[in-house]
């Protein structure tokens, strides 16, 4: 800030001078240049003030009673090698020049006091002090930031521009099982699991190298081989010139949430007893097919005969075994892509996209031939089955009714030919 033609500095200065007139005159000028001014009349007084106030800059005369300027500066240097010393020298003092040099005096100002030279010397010393202050602040800030990153509750990775790991924090090691020395210099791909889609890393890399932030979820692999999920934010790091120098990845472990969600999703869409899809999932798939183009769609309705008898006479455990057996029969008869669902207590439905009537009939035929096989055959014998095929979406609703009607026809036919239900096998 300029004040009456003089630059002002936010620093403290100690001025030591024995000649009263000079001291008063120079002090008046100094008061306008520096924020904090301390004035002493000799070296001893100056040293005492220095110890008390620790000023940034010391401006001192050489020839003084009690303790001269050189001796005072020698003491000050002992206390602080970095303090800025400005020496006021008259021509007669040149014999002290060598001593001044050995003390590392920073600036010299001619006596009688050359004010232009004085202002310029204070400017040079002040700039040094202010720069040093800034560096100290930056160092403290860096220290604070690095501690914050090291102790952060989130895993952090810093990589170079080519992606090799330069830094990982403590949480990274806790999440991944890798100690820093095991991963430094390596590519974060070492954490990649088979669950990561092949082109995801390519997309991620494209995004961050073009200077943008990438956010997403990754399924990564712990050192012990187990999978963990994380939400990830990767940002480019830039140098003072704006060029990308590396990348910062901060993540959050969401494995528990993922497992919980998967479990919720599973419970919401599956029958807990058989593991088949439940009615809600079946209805949703039906809606999807009504809007879709996967025709012909075949529908199979299957009903377990005699479940009530089994429950009443052999207990509910036997009934449950019977339901599970029926589910196995159906799963074995249809493709993995078909939707095999348990709709009610003894009721099952199957949706077969892109399946014509011939194909679904063949599948049921195979199921029936199971009747000769020991285990699946036993349960297959108690399934009444009807199947129908929709050639287009409009027919789907009626197709389900037809399959249901055919299932009842099958049940009636089988009832006349079947004996009592034997003991349900364990
Ligand atoms: Mg003097």
Q: Which two tokens stand for residue 129?
A: 């002090």
> Ligand 1 mean position to 68 CA, how many Å?
8
How many other β-carbons are positioned within 10 Å of the β-carbon of residue 192? 16
Lowest mean pLDDT across 100-104, 150-154, 176-180, 226-230: 100-104
What are 284-296's pLDDT values in tens digits?
999 999 988 899 9
> Ligand 1 mean position to 92 CA, how many Å?
11
Query: Which DSSP string corresponds to 298-315?
Result: EEEEEEETTHHHHHHHH-
> Ligand 1 mean position to 70 CA, how many Å?
12
> Ligand 1 mean position to 77 CA, how many Å?
21
What are 368-401's pLDDT values in tens digits?
886 666 788 889 989 999 999 999 999 999 999 9
> Ligand 1 mean position to 12 CA, how many Å?
22
> Ligand 1 mean position to 69 CA, how many Å?
9
387/363 Cα distance (integer angstroms): 10
> Ligand 1 mean position to 40 CA, how many Å?
12
> Ligand 1 mean position to 338 CA, how many Å?
105
Q: What mean pLDDT do residues 252-272 have?
A: 91
> Ligand 1 mean position to 19 CA, how many Å?
6
Q: Give the residue with greater pLDDT, 307 vs 417.
A: 307
What are 128-163's pLDDT values in tens digits?
999 999 999 999 999 998 899 899 999 999 999 999
User: Where would I find the H helices in 39-103?
Assistant: 43-53, 69-79, 97-103
Delineate the domains of the chain, giving CATH numbers in brackets.
Answer: 2-135 (3.40.50.2300), 152-254 (3.30.450.20), 270-417 (3.30.70.270)
pLDDT (0 to 100) of residue 392: 93
> Ligand 1 mean position to 28 CA, how many Å?
18
> Ligand 1 mean position to 72 CA, how many Å?
13
> Ligand 1 mean position to 33 CA, how many Å?
23
> What's the angle, vertex CA 151, arms to CA 149 and CA 155, rounded to 5?
65
> Ligand 1 mean position to 306 CA, how many Å?
121
CA distances from residue 49 to 14, 53, 99, 131 in whole angstroms, order as listed: 8, 6, 23, 24
pLDDT (0 to 100) of residue 82: 85
> Ligand 1 mean position to 23 CA, how many Å?
10
What are 18-75's pLDDT values in tens digits?
999 999 999 999 999 999 999 999 999 999 999 999 999 999 999 999 999 999 999 9
What are 308-350's pLDDT values in tens digits?
999 999 999 999 999 999 999 999 999 999 999 999 999 999 9
8 Å CB contact between 82 and 36: no
> Ligand 1 mean position to 42 CA, how many Å?
9
> Ligand 1 mean position to 60 CA, how many Å?
9
pLDDT (0 to 100) of residue 2: 45
> Ligand 1 mean position to 107 CA, how many Å?
17
Whole-number percent of the chain with pLDDT over 90: 76
> Ligand 1 mean position to 73 CA, how many Å?
15
> Ligand 1 mean position to 393 CA, how many Å?
109
Q: Where are the beta strands (DSSP E) in 68-207?
A: 84-89, 107-110, 156-160, 165-168
> Ligand 1 mean position to 18 CA, how many Å?
5
> Ligand 1 mean position to 22 CA, how many Å?
9
> Ligand 1 mean position to 114 CA, how many Å?
15
Q: Which of 86-95, 109-118, 322-331 holds the top average pLDDT? A: 322-331
> Ligand 1 mean position to 128 CA, how many Å?
27
> Ligand 1 mean position to 64 CA, how many Å?
5
Q: Is-above-0.85 flag for pTM?
A: no
> Ligand 1 mean position to 163 CA, how many Å?
65
Q: Which two tokens stand for residue 104?
A: 């590392």
Question: 275 — alpha (psi -120 to 50), left (phi > 0) or beta?
Answer: left
pLDDT interval class at 424 (50, 70, 90): confident
> Ligand 1 mean position to 104 CA, how many Å?
20
8 Å CB contact between 334 and 361: no
> Ligand 1 mean position to 212 CA, how many Å?
65
């Amino acid at each position: 800030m300029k004040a009456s033609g003089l630059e002002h500095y936010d620093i403290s200065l100690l001025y030591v001078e024995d000649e009263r007139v000079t001291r008063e005159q120079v002090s008046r000028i100094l008061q306008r240049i520096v924020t904090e001014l301390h004035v002493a009349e000799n070296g001893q007084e100056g040293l005492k003030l220095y110890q008390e106030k620790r000023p940034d800059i010391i401006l001192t005369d050489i020839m003084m009673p009690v303790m001269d300027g050189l001796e005072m500066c020698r003491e000050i240097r002992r206390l602080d090698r970095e303090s800025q010393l400005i020496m006021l020298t008259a021509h007669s003092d040149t014999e002290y020049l060598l001593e001044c040099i050995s003390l590392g005096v920073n600036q010299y100002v001619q006596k009688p006091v050359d004010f232009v030279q004085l202002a310029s010397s204070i400017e040079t010393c002040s700039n040094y002090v202010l720069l040093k202050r800034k560096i100290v602040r930056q160092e403290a800030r860096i220290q604070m930031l690095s501690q914050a990153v090291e102790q952060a509750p989130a895993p952090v990775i810093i990589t170079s521009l080519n992606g090799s790991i330069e830094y990982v924090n403590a949480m990274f090691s806790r999440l991944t099982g890798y100690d820093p020395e095991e991963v430094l210099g390596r590519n974060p791909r070492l954490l990649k699991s088979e669950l990561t889609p092949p082109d995801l890393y390519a997309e991620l890399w494209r995004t961050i190298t073009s200077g943008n932030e990438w956010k997403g979820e990754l399924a990564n692999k712990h050192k012990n081989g187990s999978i963990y999920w994380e939400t990830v934010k990767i940002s480019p790091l830039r140098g003072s010139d704006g060029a990308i120098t590396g990348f910062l990845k901060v993540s959050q472990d969401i494995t528990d949430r993922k497992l919980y969600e998967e479990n919720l999703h599973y419970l919401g869409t599956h029958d807990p007893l058989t593991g088949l899809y439940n009615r809600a999932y079946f209805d949703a798939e039906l809606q999807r097919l009504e809007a879709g183009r996967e025709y012909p769609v075949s529908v199979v309705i299957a009903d377990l005969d005699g479940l009530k008898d089994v429950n009443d006479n052999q207990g509910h455990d036997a009934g449950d075994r019977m339901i599970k057996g029926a589910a196995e029969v159906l799963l074995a008869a249809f493709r993995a892509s078909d939707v095999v669902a348990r709709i009610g207590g003894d009721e099952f439905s199957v949706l077969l996209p892109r399946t014509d009537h011939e194909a679904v009939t063949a599948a049921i035929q195979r199921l029936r031939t199971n009747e000769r096989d020991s285990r699946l055959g036993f349960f297959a014998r108690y399934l009444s089955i009807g199947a129908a095929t929709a050639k287009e979406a409009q027919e789907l609703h009626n197709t389900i009714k037809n399959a249901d009607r055919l299932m009842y026809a099958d049940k009636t036919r089988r009832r006349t030919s079947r004996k009592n239900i034997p003991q349900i096998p364990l």
